[in-house]
Structure 1
Amino acid sequence: MDRAGRISAENLRAVEQARASGAEVMIVTGRSWRSTLPYYRALAMTGPAICYLGALVVADGTGRVLEHLPLEPAAWHPLRRLALAEGLAVTAAVAVPGGADGPAGGDRGRELGLAADVAYATGRADDFNGWEDWNPYTEIDPALDRCASPPTMAAVYGDRSVARVLAAFPDGLPRAQFDLSDHIEGETVLHVWHEAVDKGRALARYCRERGIPPEAVLAVGDAAMDVTMLRFAGIGVAVPGSQPAALAAADWVASPAEAVARALGSRG
């Protein structure tokens, strides 16, 4: 996508060419399913999509859930208590109703219903710009009463709230990981995921279950969160202007269209 969130005609053609060659095309993203769906449709996809870095896998365009890995109660409850006690700006993204009450990371094919993709926030952060861009459908719920179970992902917004959470939990939270890789000046956000959530791990699991070897995979990314995916793939591609970590992990630096043309050309 470009900075306006549009897929170029060139990249749309590249996806069509890849699919026509017999390749399977898949979205692996940190976005929610709700935010991914417009791009899924634009690319005329019909199969699974990996969302929330791998915390959610949907089966198809209906949003039928195949796998879900929310935060553990031991991680979510202390974070929620701190946020409410000190007025921190925290959001809870809920991909699947019931959260951790369902089978976390269940066997592929064991469906958990449809992705709900709702989000709740204690409130907006005064020291965070671009709230609407980051939270297009987040509802304000000061006590987070509507988040009945541990969410798929929690996010802490603004310098003050992020600093307080990091100070309160210097060793992290149980079975969780902190991610500050999206840091932008004026838009500090700390994501909190289950410790097993990882793009590379999710894609590797999918490929293993489908009998697809790593050397038959081409992955395209641009950020630190893409590094494990780029390293897993036989050909890891970082687009020009990617974050340094992605550039260092990549085999090629190319646009998606250039990478597909080069890969198909190498196959004759």
Structure 2
Amino acid sequence: MIRVIATDIDHTLIDERGVLPLINVEAIQAAAARGIRIVLATARRRQPTLEVAQRLGVPVSLVCHNGGRVWDDQDHEILHHTIDLSTARRMAVLADQHNLPFIFTIDEINLYNARVSHGTPSMVLDQTAVPSLLTAVALPPTRIVAQGLEAATLMIEALGRDQNVHLFQYSRDGELYSAIAAHPQATKENALAELCRRWGCAPGEVLALGDAEADVGMLRWAGVGVAPKGSMPQALAAANWISPSARLGGVAVAIHRYALLG
């Protein structure tokens, strides 16, 4: 019996166009009406995640920054992991030296250099452009985002063997397009495990859905892991089942298949 549904947002709950299919909303509302807890597990910051949660119209727990910060469905923050400051400042030096697009997120504020692309309107909120990331990074960040192949490769080479960070890589069609550095314990599966511990739920009672490398641990940890068609190869390999694509409402199909039958 499924008691918890945890879903990634981008390219899973929401499709590649930024569209949230109505059938996904309806399926989540039907699950919540049965008492199933809903978790949004995403690389997004709190505010953009809240915007999606509000569109669902049900109580939602938030796993933000891939597990760096976690709020339960009563809006209590239960976890907040940050990167070691010395490690972060070492990366800031490289970002300044190479003048590549990097974002350092501190207390939900994105500190960025001039080359960063903001993408969606919600990403423009709480942004601060700085002339020097090294000067600006005075507190431990929740995450470091490297945009584009060159910046992502630089961060992977610099921090790939660092025990103080966990690296998430993002690719489409086999091409690396970004990377995120976080605290070693800042993972979706760790965040989900803590929420379930508080709720008295076992992994076998969890349905998890995601499309990226950052979702792999969560897909394997949950009793049922689902990846939409078109997901990164790592997510497809970790999943118990491949759903229709995000555009076709794969989340809704999975919820009906595993949580609403019977």
Q: Is the 8 A contact 2:32 2:58 kept in 1?
A: no
How many angstroms does 1:47 deviate by?
4.2
**2:235 maps to 1:222:** no
- Could you tell me which of 161, 178, 192 is aligned with 1:189? 178
How many angstroms does 1:64 deviate by?
5.1
Q: Tell me how far apart the structure 2 counterparts of residues 162 and 26 of structure 1 sit (CA, whole Å).
A: 28
Q: Tell me how far apart the structure 2 counterparts of residues 204 and 71 of structure 1 sit (CA, whole Å).
A: 21
How many angstroms does 1:52 deviate by?
0.6
Higher strand share: 2
TM-score, structure 1 normalization: 0.79
How many angstroms does 1:146 deviate by?
4.1
- Could you tell me which of 15, 30, 36 is aligned with 1:23? 36
- Could you tell me which of 57, 65, 77 is aligned with 2:70? 57
Closer, same or farther: CA 240–225 of 1 in aligned 2, 3 Å? same
Closer, same or farther: CA 85–43 of 1 in aligned 2, 3 Å? same
Q: How many residues align?
A: 239
> What is the percent sequence identity of the aligned residues?
28
Aligned partner letter, 2:254: A
Deviant stretches of 4+, over 6 Å: 184-187
1:118-157 alignment to 2 at 5 Å? 118-124=109-115, 131-133=117-119, 135-137=123-125, 138-144=127-133, 145-157=135-147
Greater Rg by CA: 1
Q: CA RMSD in A?
A: 2.5
Aligned partner letter, 1:75: T
**2:91 maps to 1:79:** yes
Closer, same or farther: CA 2–86 of 1 in aligned 2, 3 Å? closer
Match of 1:111?
Answer: none
TM-score, structure 2 normalization: 0.81
Q: Tell me how far apart the structure 2 counterparts of residues 188 and 264 of structure 1 sit (CA, whole Å).
A: 34
Q: Tell me how far apart the structure 2 counterparts of residues 232 and 64 of structure 1 sit (CA, whole Å).
A: 24
How many angstroms does 1:4 deviate by?
2.4
Q: Is the 8 A contact 1:11 1:257 kept in 2?
A: yes
How many angstroms does 1:58 deviate by?
2.1
**2:194 maps to 1:208:** no
